[in-house]
Structure formats: C-alpha cells, structure tokens
Amino acid sequence: MKHNRIGMKIGIWIMSLFLIVFFFLGIAIDRIFTNFHQTEMKSKVNDMITHFVMMAASPENSIEHSLDAFADFSDVSIFFINNKGDVTAHSGDYDPSYHTFIHEQDIEKIFAGETVNFTHTDPNNNRYIVSGMVIPQSDHDGATDKALYVLASTQHMDESINRIRNLLILSGVGALLIALGGTWISAQILSRPLLEMQKATRKIAVGDLETRLSIKSGDEMGSLAEAINDLAKDLQRYRDTRQEFFANISHELRTPITYIEGYAKVVKEKLYTSEEEKDQYLDIIQEEAVRLNRLVNDLFELAKMEEGKISLSLEWIDLSEIVRNTVRKMEWRVKEKGLSMQAVYDDEIPLILGDGLRMEQILLNLLDNAIRYTDQGNITVSIHHNPNNVHLKIKDTGMGIAEEEIPFLFERFYRVEKSRSRKFGGTGLGLSITKKLVDLHGGDIQVSSELGVGTSFDICFPSPESKEDEYE
C-alpha cells in the first residue's frame, strides 16, 4: 500500500508551523514571567532598602540596633559602607569576604544621591539582586559618609521561574502530542479528496471514462472535482462520437465504393441488355463518385481547418448577391421536394469583408441541411443590418432538433438523430465546417430549434465601417 505522501507533506507543514509558533510563544511566555518576577523582586528590594535607610537614618537607632532590627523581619544581607567603600557593618547569610559587588563607580553614584540596582553572582554561583542607597545622616558641615547595600537572594525567584518553565515544557509536550494527533487526522481529511482525484484521473487516463468523483463541497476542491467530472464527460462523449464517426465514415465510404465497383463490373463485362440500361449504370457510377468526392473533400477541409492551414481571400463582397446566387442554385432541389423558398433583404445591405467562395460554402451547407430535413413547408433566407452588424438567417419548417442536442451541434463527428443519419446521407461534418468558416470571418452563429416546428440558424457578421477605413 502506497504511503499518503500528500498527507505527510501537509502534516509536516502544519507541524513545522506549529513548532515555530510554539517555540516563539514559549520564549515570549518565559520572558514575560521572568521579567515579571525580576521586576517584582527589584521593587520589593527597593522598598526594603528605602525602609532600611529611613531606620538607619534615625538618630535614635545605632547601626548595631538597626542591623538587629533588620535581621528580625528580613531575609536579606545588609552591608553598611563608608564613602571610601569600606564595609563598616553587615548582617545576613552573605559571606562578607566576598564584597566584589562594591564598585568604585557605584559608590560615587550612591554618595551623589543616586540609587543603584544590579544583579550579582557570588563565587558559588548564587545570584542576588543588589540595591545601594546613601543614608541621609549629616554631620556639622552637612556631609554624609554612610551608605547601605541590600542583597536579596534570587533563589526563591529562580525556583518559581523553573517551576513555571517545567509547567510550560509539560504543557508543550502535551500540546505537541495533541497537535500530532490532530495534524495526522487533519492531513488525512484534507488529502483524501486529492487522493480520490488522483485515482480518478489515473482511471480516466487509461480509458475508464465512466469514472466520476462524488466530492461535494463549495470550495476549490469541489470546483476541481466538478472540472474533472466535466472533463471525463467530454472525453467520453468525444470518444463515443469519434467511434460513431469512424463507423459512419466507413459505411459512407463503403456504400459508394460498392456501387462504383459493382456497376463498373457490370458495364465492363457488358452485362446490360440495352444502351439505356448502360447509361443508367454509368449515371449511378457518376453520382456515387460525386458523393465520394464530396465526403473526401469535407474530410480534407476539416483537417486543414483543424491545423489552421486554411486561409481566406478577403475582399469587399455583396452578401445579398451571394445569397441570390446560392438560392438560385438550390431551387431545383427545393422544387424536387415540393418545398418553397424565399429570400428577404433589407435595402442597401452594406458590403462586408470576406471570402466570397467560403461565404457561398456556408450558405450551401446550411441550405443543404434545411432542405434535407424539411419534408413540407418553406425555407426562408433573410438579411438585415444595423449600424453594428449584418445578420443572415436561414429558417426552415423541418423536423427540428432536440434542445439537449443543440450545444453539440457544431462539434466535429457529432450527428443528430443517429438512426436517421443514413436515411438523409449526412456525414456530421457540414455544420462543423460552417462554424469554423464563420469564426474565420469574425462572425458568430447561433441555433434555435423546436421539435416538429423547425430550425433557425442566425449568423452575425461585424460592422464593416471600421474595416473599410482600415482597408482604404
């Protein structure tokens, strides 16, 4: 069984993001608590030294009495110094021989009236918050020669911070384990649609075009699944129409070839009884040859259009004149089927830029379809224009086209009413060629139809004014 690599990638990305966020969040929380405790402790030490200084400055208390009083209610070490930095008295657990915390520049600041605060580490790696302040005790000339240092051990604060850190670590490990489980589940859920799409596309790639995805969601995943389903439907329809097209082409080629071969053999071996019968066989051979030639030409035309190798000989043409000539050519077929055909024109139809022969081919294809699929009634060809467009419409009263067939009408290989195609002799290429020729002229073709009522083809060509200016 293959690993869910996309799920692993999603999981790794989520976990990496989580770890980065958790790392910086942990550092931030640690600094917040550390700074809070340090600030609180420095504030307490400052309050304490201020109180001690007030007690020491009282003329009623001697230094020894002050030290005893301090020792009764404090857990700090106290050092009295003179203005030379010498320790004159002390109390507390701090070893008085280690007074490296006393610095000359600090003494100058203290006796200048400033309060100094800093952190000190003794030789045994014990940390202390140190605060120094002058004792406002004046002699007869107004000078002061006493100062006070207070050293508060950070042991309890460090222990408290370490407990918080341990709690953060335990919480982090728990959160990490929960995140691992949540990330694995999320990655599986997020990657499941992608895996389904991968399997579906592989099935489609090997020809299983009935494959469909059942993913229903309103996000991009749902849109992608819908697009894959649409692609499978289009490929399935393309395959089916292509297979049907080749079957029809084989039949259409086989029929005239069989006729030509059979009647040519009859004529060659003189199996006819009269010259009239001979001429009849030759007429059949000629008709089938024409039919075969038309089919080959349609295939050749379509192939050139698909490859973009067809070009137009553009010139200013009179569309109404082309319509008149084309209608005249198709009159015999209309009369042969007992139909009527009329042409309706606006006055002064403007010239359009196009290829006259290709434009006639468009009309012939559409009129041929209209005549072929109309058993009674009439066919109307009309031309109208406005400042922006020239409209050509071919309307018949034939059998019509089902609404669900219309979107596929211009696709190559597509044939409406497959069961009737041989009866009417179509190859499914005429309308595809027509659509491509209209597109090459910069036009647009639309179809409207109703079963049992008839079909209407509307072609719109762009306004000729701007092209005329460019041409001139």
Say what the pLDDT of residue 422 is: 45
Same domain for 436 and 328: yes
Within the chain, which residues score under 50 in pLDDT? 1, 140, 419-423, 466-472
Same domain membership, residue 327 and residue 465:
yes
pLDDT for 381 equals 92
Measured CA to CA, the distance from residue 448 to residue 450 in angstroms comes to: 7
> pLDDT tens digit string along 30-78?
888 888 888 888 888 888 878 777 777 766 555 556 665 665 566 788 8
- Angle, helices 319-336 vs 356-372, to 10°: value is 30
CATH assignment of the domain containing 143: 3.30.450.20
Whether residues 330 and 238 share a domain: the answer is no
Sheet strand arrangement including 389-396: 340-345, 378-385, 389-396, 454-462, 444-450
Residue 175 lies in a domain: no
Q: Find tokens 């719109």 and name the residue.
A: 460
| Boundary residue ending a domain (254, 276, 306) | 306
Instruction: Tell me the torsion sign for CA atoms 395, 397, 400, 403.
Output: positive
| pLDDT of 138 | 52
Last residue in a domain, options 272, 306, 340: 306
pLDDT, tens digit, 9 for 90 and up, residues 441-456:
889 999 999 888 899 9
In this structure, is residue 215 part of a structural domain? Answer: no
CA distance 254 to 278: 23
Q: What backbone phi and psi angles, to 5 degrees, belong to 209?
A: -80, -5
Same structural domain, 247 and 329: no
Domain interval for residue 241 = 233-306
End-to-end CA distance of the chain, in Å? Answer: 71
Q: Are residues 132 and 248 in the same domain?
A: no
- Cα angle 11, 14, 15; round to 5: 80
Same domain, 374 and 398: yes
Q: Which residues are 255's β-sheet partners?
A: none
Q: 196 with 31: CB under 8 angstroms?
A: no
In a domain, 207, yes or no: no
pLDDT recorded at residue 464:
65
Question: Would residue 191 count as lying in a domain?
Answer: no
Residues 406, 417 contacting (CB under 8 angstroms):
no
Asked whether residue 173 is domain-assigned, the answer is no
Q: Which of 244, 276, 306 is the last residue of a domain?
A: 306
Question: Do 280 and 386 belong to one domain?
Answer: no
Counted domains in the chain: 3
Report the CATH number that the domain containing residue 466 is assigned in CATH. Answer: 3.30.565.10
| Domain shared by 259 and 360, yes or no | no
pLDDT at 66: 62
Residue 266 maps to a domain: yes
pLDDT of residue 257: 87
pTM of the complete model beyond 0.85: no
* 155 shares a domain with 118: yes
| Judgement on whether residues 264 and 321 belong to the same structural domain of the protein | no
Position 195 in a domain: no
Residue 73 and residue 54 share a domain: yes
pLDDT at position 396 is 92
Contact present, 69 and 48 (Cβ < 8 Å): no
CATH of the domain at 294: 1.10.287.130
- The three-state (H, E, C) secondary structure of the chain, written as one string: CCCCHHHHHHHHHHHHHHHHHHHHHHHHHHHHHHHHHHHHHHHHHHHHHHHHHHHHHCCCCCHHHHHHHHHHHCCCEEEEEECCCCEEEEECCCCCCCCCCCCHHHHHHHHCCCCEEEEEECCCCCEEEEEEEECCCCCCCCCCCEEEEEEEECHHHHHHHHHHHHHHHHHHHHHHHHHHHHHHHHHHHHHHHHHHHHHHHHHHHCCCCCCCCCCCCCCHHHHHHHHHHHHHHHHHHHHHHHHHHHHHHHHHHHHHHHHHHHHHHHHHCCCCCCHHHHHHHHHHHHHHHHHHHHHHHHHHHHHHHHCCCCCCCCEEECHHHHHHHHHHHHHHHHHHCCCEEEEEECCCCCCEEECHHHHHHHHHHHHHHHHHCCCCCEEEEEEEECCCEEEEEEEECCCCCCHHHHHHCCCCCCCCCHHHHHHHCCCCCHHHHHHHHHHHCCCEEEEEEECCCEEEEEEEEECCHHHHHHHC
Fill in the amino acid letter for 377. Answer: G
338 is a domain residue: yes
Same domain flag for 364 and 390: yes
